[in-house]
Structures are given as C-alpha cells and as structure tokens.
C-alpha cells in the first residue's frame, strides 16, 4: 500500500472540485488544514507506514475524522481513485489492530460487540412501539430497522413514518425479534472481523426465517446488506420500495404546497448510485416544488455522520459539515430539507437549533402528510 499511496500527488482536485469555495471533503471543510484533506491524509498515512512520523493522538484524530463519504473517490481524476477509501480504511484497521484507535472509536466498536448497538444501550431502551410490530414469519418483506431507528429518537420517528406508509399501501412486512447490527460502521472503520461476524449472524437469521425480500430504512444498513446479502436475498432501500408503490398506484397523494430541497445521503448516493428514487417520490406529490442545492447527487456534501462520526462527533463545531449543509439548504429558499437516512436526520436536526429557518423532515413524513 505504501508505494501506491505515493501515486496521490496532492493536486487537491478532490478538495474543491468545482471552485475554491467548494470544500467537498467534510473534514477539510471543518478544519481547513491540508492534513485533513484526502491527499494530506494519504500522505500522512504513507509517512506513518514508512516510519517517518510517530503515531500520535493528533494523527489518530485526523485519520478517524474521515467519514467515508466517498467524495474524494468521486472527484479524483486519477485511475487509482477507487482505492482511496480502501487505503484510508486499511490504515484505520491497522490503527485498531495495534490498539491505537481513539478511545471513542474503541468504545463504539466494543458496544456493538457486547450490546449490539454503538451506544451500549440495553434492549429495554428500544423505542417502545417496536414491540407492537408484527414479527417476521412469512410476510413479503423483512423490514430491517437498524440501531439508529431502534434506539435514537429521531431515527425512531422516521421508522414509525416508514411503517405507517407501508401499512397505508397494504404491504405485508414483519420485523426481527432480536435484530443484529448491520455492521456497516464496523466495515468503514476497518474492523473487518466484527463486520464478518455480524454479517454471518444476520445471514443465518435470514436463512432460518426464509426471508426473500429485505427493506432497510438506513442507507448504511442497505450498503452493508448489499455487500453480504446481494444475490441471496433481494435488498431494497425504502425509497426504492416507495417509488415502486407510487408507480403501481398503491399510494395516492394529494396536493402539498411546500418548497423542498433534498439531501443525498452518501451511502445511498455515492456508495450505491441511488439518486432518482427519492426525487421521483417528491415529484409524485402534487404541488410540491423541489429545488436542488448547488451540490447534489454525485457531488452532494455529506452531513458528517458516516464511519461512526454520528456517535464520536469529531467534526463538531461552528463549521461542522451538518451546519454547512443546512446553510446550503437555506440558500435554496426551501422551507423543508428532506432526508432519507436516520443518521442524516439526527445530524442535521441537531444543528437546526443554531442555524434555524428550515425544517428537516424525512421523506416518509412528507408522503404520510400528502396521503392523508
Ligand atoms: S486523491 Fe486524487 S484528486 Fe485528491 S490530491 Fe490525491 S491525486 Fe489529487
Ligand atoms: S471519504 Fe470523504 S471524508 Fe474521507 S477523505 Fe474522502 S472526501 Fe474526505
């Protein structure tokens, strides 16, 4: 890897692909140090592997402030671009193996291993309404909720909205009695062993229950399950299912006169190429006006929550990615910023108190309001 890393010549294209104010790497946008840019990070990794610099808390913070948004991969012009994120993940992996990861990262991974969620919460802290949902037996879909929707208040609200839409459309679905973490963040942090353990538990459970179609709420869960369940089970993100339900006229929507903008989550967009289904849903609502932010689709700016940062929050501060994204959304004149990821929802809602003047709503809530 050391030799390959040298092929990045720090041209900086990945840092500001469309102009010198377009800082597209969330950690570079937050800190504005070359060391926190994709190229700077790669050179620091090389220097560490070549033993030219010692490991330090500062280096650790730089490495783990990469949120795996994949924007550098999208914008680098060199033929090694697809390997950039893998190099960063391999360096995180080496740091974890050698006991060098920041304590917050260690706790995050240990909590997933011991408690099945990154906060280390006991099962009785799950949103109480989940108990009332039908358990999966032989329904058409297994609805995979994920940690953020089971334990985090904003994610739980989003999951409840998705559940209500599925019921309105007459979809038969069930949830797991005892869900295992999808493992996406373990994978992005380079904890391949933990990821494989979680993947194998999930696959075993899906096989035992005879699952055929899985619908996920979080794009992070979608990304993980596409990696290990693809070809064995059909995996859909809920926006793909909603878009199909609207096409088949299983949902009828009435007029809503809102001006909205849409935030592409990295794990649905750049990681999986799904840009149009959420937009098709919004365009199906009569009267709803969709305006795009300057950075959208492949070039969308990340909320800063990936690779476990929704828990560690290494990028918090006055120019955190979430705050920058809210400012960008405000610039469109939209009244509502629409999200389709529980992590984006929590990250963006957290800063709305400071930035204000726009509401964050998940797309299922928009569909529900319009379907009444
Ligand atoms: S990763 Fe690619 S675009 Fe970024 S500095 Fe290196 S060579 Fe340039
Ligand atoms: S994946 Fe995102 S956060 Fe990480 S270096 Fe690339 S642009 Fe920056």
What is the residue with the minimal CA distance to atom 8 of ligand 1?
11
Domain residue spans in the chain? 2-101, 123-244, 254-371
pLDDT for the residue 357: 86
**Rounded (10°) angle between helices 84-97 and 103-115:** 80
How far away, in angstroms, is 188 Cα from ligand 1 center? 20
The whole-number pLDDT of residue 172 equals 98
The residue among 222, 253, 215, 262 whose CA lies nearest residue 361 is 262
pLDDT tens readout for residues 99-122: 999 999 999 999 999 999 999 999
**pLDDT (0 to 100) of residue 346:** 97
Residue pLDDT, tens place only, 258-281: 999 999 999 999 999 999 999 999
Q: Which residues pair with residue 236 across a beta bridge?
A: 215
Q: Are 97 and 321 in contact, with CB atoms under 8 Å apart?
A: no
Is 40 touching ligand 1 by the criterion CB < 6 Å? no
Q: What is the pLDDT of residue 356?
A: 66
CA distance 337 to 334: 7
CA 13 to ligand 1 centroid distance, Å:
6
pLDDT in tens, 63-102: 999 999 999 999 999 999 999 999 999 999 999 999 999 9
**254-371 architecture in CATH?**
3-Layer(aba) Sandwich (3.40)
Residue 242 belongs to what H/E stretch?
A: helix 238-247
291 C-beta closer than 6 A to ligand 1: no
Residue 362 Cα to ligand 1 midpoint, Å, equals 34
Residues of the chain with pLDDT under 70: 1-2, 355-356
**DSSP, residue by residue, 216-237:** ESSHHHHHHHHHHTBTTBEEEE
Distance 71 CA to ligand 1 centre (A): 11
Tell me what the pLDDT averaged over the chain comes to. 95
> pTM for the whole thing?
0.96
Q: Which atom of ligand 1 is nearest to the CA of 12?
A: 5
| 30, 237, 309 from 348: Cα distances, Å | 15, 20, 13
Centroid of chain to Cα 177: 24
CATH for 123-244 is: 3.40.50.1860
Ligand 1 within 6 A of CB of 84: yes
Domains 123-244 and 254-371 share a fold: yes
Pocket lining for ligand 2, CB < 6 angstroms = 25-27, 38, 41, 66-72, 85
């Amino acid at each position: 890897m050391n030799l390959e890393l040298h092929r990045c010549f720090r041209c900086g294209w990945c840092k500001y692909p469309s102009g010198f104010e377009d800082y597209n790497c969330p950690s570079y946008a937050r800190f504005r140090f070359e060391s926190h840019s994709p190229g700077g990070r790669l050179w620091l990794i090389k220097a560490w592997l070549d033993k030219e610099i010692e490991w330090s808390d500062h280096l650790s913070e730089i490495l783990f402030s990469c949120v795996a948004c994949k924007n550098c991969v999208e914008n680098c012009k060199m033929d090694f671009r697809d390997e950039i994120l893998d190099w960063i993940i391999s360096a995180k992996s080496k740091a974890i193996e050698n006991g060098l990861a920041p304590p917050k990262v260690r706790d995050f991974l240990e909590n997933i291993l011991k408690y099945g969620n990154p906060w280390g919460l006991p099962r009785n802290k799950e949103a109480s309404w989940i108990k009332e949902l039908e358990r999966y037996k032989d329904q058409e879909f297994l609805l995979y909720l994920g940690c953020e929707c089971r334990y985090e208040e904003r994610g739980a609200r989003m999951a409840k909205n998705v559940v209500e839409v599925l019921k309105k459309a007459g979809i038969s679905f069930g949830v797991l009695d005892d869900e295992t973490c999808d493992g996406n963040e373990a994978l992005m942090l380079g904890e391949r062993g933990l990821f494989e353990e979680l993947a194998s538990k999930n696959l075993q459970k899906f096989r035992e229950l005879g699952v055929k179609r899985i619908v996920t709420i979080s794009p992070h869960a979608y990304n993980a399950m596409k990696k290990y369940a693809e070809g064995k089970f059909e995996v859909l993100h809920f926006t793909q299912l909603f878009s199909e339900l609207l096409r088949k006229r299983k949902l009828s929507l009435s007029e809503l006169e809102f001006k909205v903008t849409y935030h592409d989550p990295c794990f649905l967009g750049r990681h999986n190429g799904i840009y149009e289904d959420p937009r098709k849903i919004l365009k199906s609502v009569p009267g709803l006006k969709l305006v795009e932010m300057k950075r959208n689709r492949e070039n969308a700016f990340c909320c800063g929550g990936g690779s476990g940062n929704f828990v560690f929050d290494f990028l918090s501060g006055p120019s955190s990615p979430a705050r920058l994204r809210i400012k960008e959304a405000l610039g469109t004149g939209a009244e509502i910023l629409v999200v389709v990821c529980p992590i984006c929802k929590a990250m963006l809602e957290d800063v709305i108190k400071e930035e204000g003047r726009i509401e964050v709503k998940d797309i299922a809530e928009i569909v529900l309001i319009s379907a009444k």
